[in-house]
Amino acid sequence: MRRKGRIGKGRGRVRKLLYILIGAGALCFGGLLLLVIRAERLERPLERADAILVLGARVQPDGELSTQLMYRAEKALELYRAGLGEVIVATGARGSDEPIAEAAAVAEYLIARGVPEERVLIENRSTSTAENLAFSKAILSERGFVGAIVVTSEYHVQRALWMARDIGLSAQGAGSQASDYPALLWASRAREALAWAKYFALDRPFR
């Protein structure tokens, strides 16, 4: 009987510890989510830069830009027309379920709306935000460009700027609308909160 009682108490302690860990994880996640939303709403005044850099997002099976990517392209177009960048860098490789590279789709979209072809640079090798930024920095450096305005969805701007800083890219951030649907927006924010946790735990260089 005593042995069974000890086993029962042990299981109870393990269960309590598990609940504590789950609760602590939920609190941490909630705190990160609030920080993502707060960063999303920061005012980010812009100054003219050498380039406008559009981070990649999904292209639809029919070749059309996804809503998120279209909003990013539209924001870049708005900034270009306002004279805030000399060139636009479209980024993103072709995913396994995409008919063309994300960079090519954005370039076509911009050129069709009046941006001169020679003003659109294509970086079509990257498959992540880190690669978007690193490969684009190399393209800009080849042309003697230094600074860029990074265009991405509002919830994603802050982490993109951290990552740009980490590789020595002088960057400003411009956020575009992410989705027309609140549920999708909240799902994107939740993924971004997890991405922040990964960034601080694993990706951020120690300086």
- Per-residue pLDDT for 21 more than 90? no
With cut-offs at 50, 70 and 90, classify the pLDDT of residue 180.
Answer: confident
Say which residue, 29 or 170, is predicted with more confidence: 170
Using one digit for the tens of pLDDT, what is the confidence trace for 26-72? 778 788 899 999 999 899 999 999 999 999 999 999 999 999 999 99
The DSSP result for 20-46, as a single string, is HHHHHHHHHHHHHHHHHHHHHT-----
Detail the DSSP E strand segments found in 55-166.
85-91, 120-123, 147-153
Contacts of 137 (CB under 8 A, 6+ apart): 167, 168, 169
pLDDT of residue 12: 67
Report in angstroms the alpha-carbon separations of 26 from 20, 39, 170.
10, 20, 35
- Per-residue pLDDT for 176 more than 90? yes
Can you say whether residue 148 is alpha, beta or left, with left for phi > 0 and alpha for psi between -120 and 50 degrees?
Answer: beta
pTM: 0.85
Average pLDDT estimate for 75-101: 96
Q: Which of 173, 169, 159 is nearest to 46 (CA)?
A: 173
Instruction: Return the domain boundaries, the chain.
Output: 49-203
Question: Average per-residue pLDDT in the chain?
Answer: 90
CATH number of 49-203: 3.40.50.620
Which residues share a beta bridge with 72? none
